[in-house]
């Protein structure tokens, strides 16, 4: 079975950035309360707050006048949305509590640590990578605990770009690609975006073994948006072969 990198989105979810529940809906037509003028259907409006759900970040998220989600579609630049991807599960547990706030902890992945983990799976640096940790810190909803930051160091991010000129995708199970408390800087976002790569965050990776997969993750092509919800899918090589022969 394919791996679906999104939880079932529930109205019980808590927002990760203080924005309240990331999913709400309201009834437009109620099939149980029809009037003479209403159609015989049930139909709702849906409100989503993507940054608390699996989503694509576009460069406009951190750059003034940066590329928006629709730009990928207008330019037909889909390389980050499908293709082979390397799933890395970092071994051990290197989440370190902050002295300034022990309720928060961070694992800053070094270049050597990332390189070792990648080369454990493949002999070459990937063009697409999804990152999580083997010991997966879950919150009450089964998502990566927002208080356990998993982020790259700048040297690790630069290695991904320098090691493979075709690098086009960074994805993470954590809620963000940066962890910079009390700072407005977003260095890892900038390194990745400046290279022209895309970023996916809040991916549900708790059940995915590390390895190489086929990745499909097209966001909604929202005009002018700097982020968009997505429901990514991973297929094993055998699943892909089976589909190709179907």
Q: Over the stretch 153-202, which tens digit does the pLDDT of each residue have?
A: 999 999 999 999 999 999 999 999 999 988 889 999 999 999 999 999 99
Residue 120 inside a domain? The answer is: yes
Contact partners, residue 130, CB within 8 Å, separation at least 6: 5, 85, 86, 87, 88, 171, 172, 173, 200, 203, 205, 208, 215
Contact partners, residue 191, CB within 8 Å, separation at least 6: 154, 157, 158, 161
Contact at 8 Å (CB) between 154 and 194? Answer: no
Contact at 8 Å (CB) between 132 and 124? Answer: no
Residue 185 inside a domain? The answer is: yes
pTM of the model: 0.94
* Residue 116 confidence (pLDDT): 96
* Residue 48 confidence (pLDDT): 96
Residue 149 inside a domain? The answer is: yes
Residue 43 inside a domain? The answer is: no
Number of domains forming the structure of the chain: 1
Residue 202 inside a domain? The answer is: yes
Q: How many CB atoms lie under 10 A from the CB of residue 185?
A: 10
Candidates 150, 128, 148, 124; CA nearest to 214 is: 128
pLDDT tens, position by position, 166-176: 999 999 999 99
Question: Domain range for residue 184?
Answer: 3-7+53-244
Higher per-residue confidence, 110 vs 31: 110
pLDDT band at 33 (very low <50, low <70, confident <90, very high): confident
What does the block give as tokens for 50? 């993507």
Contact at 8 Å (CB) between 70 and 201? Answer: no
* Residue 55 confidence (pLDDT): 98
Residue 194 inside a domain? The answer is: yes
pLDDT tens, position by position, 71-112: 999 999 999 999 999 999 999 999 999 999 999 999 999 999
What does the block give as tokens for 57? 């970040």
Look at residue 241 and tell me whether its pLDDT is greater than 90.
no
The domain that holds 116 is classified in CATH as: 3.50.30.50
What does the block give as tokens for 53? 């759900």
Contact at 8 Å (CB) between 96 and 109? Answer: no
Query: Does an H or E element contain 89, and which?
Result: strand 82-90
* Residue 45 confidence (pLDDT): 95
Unique residue bearing structure tokens 């968009």: 228
Residue 42 inside a domain? The answer is: no
Residue 59 inside a domain? The answer is: yes
**Share above pLDDT 70 across residues of the chain, in percent, rounded to a whole number:** 100
């Amino acid at each position: 079975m394919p791996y679906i990198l999104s939880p079932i989105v529930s109205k019980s979810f808590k927002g990760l950035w203080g924005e309240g529940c990331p999913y709400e809906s309201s009834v437009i037509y109620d099939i149980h309360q029809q009037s003479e003028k209403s159609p015989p259907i049930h139909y709702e409006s849906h409100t989503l707050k993507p940054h608390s759900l699996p989503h694509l970040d576009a460069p406009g998220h951190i750059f003034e006048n940066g590329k928006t989600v629709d730009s990928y579609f207008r330019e037909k630049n889909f390389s980050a949305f499908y293709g082979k991807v390397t799933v890395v599960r970092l071994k051990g547990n290197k989440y370190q509590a902050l002295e300034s706030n022990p309720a928060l902890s961070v694992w800053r992945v070094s270049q050597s640590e990332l390189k070792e983990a990648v080369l454990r799976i493949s002999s070459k640096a990937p063009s697409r990578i999804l990152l999580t940790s083997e010991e997966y810190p879950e919150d009450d909803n089964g998502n990566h605990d927002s208080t356990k930051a998993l982020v790259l160091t700048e040297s690790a991010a630069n290695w991904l770009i320098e090691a493979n000129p075709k690098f086009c995708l960074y994805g993470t199970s954590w809620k963000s690609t940066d962890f910079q408390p009390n700072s407005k800087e977003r260095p890892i976002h900038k390194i990745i975006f400046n290279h022209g790569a895309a970023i996916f965050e809040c991916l549900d990776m708790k059940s995915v073994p590390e390895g190489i997969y086929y990745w499909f993750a097209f966001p909604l092509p929202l005009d002018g948006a700097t982020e968009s919800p997505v429901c990514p899918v991973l297929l094993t090589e055998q699943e892909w072969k089976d589909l190709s022969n179907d």
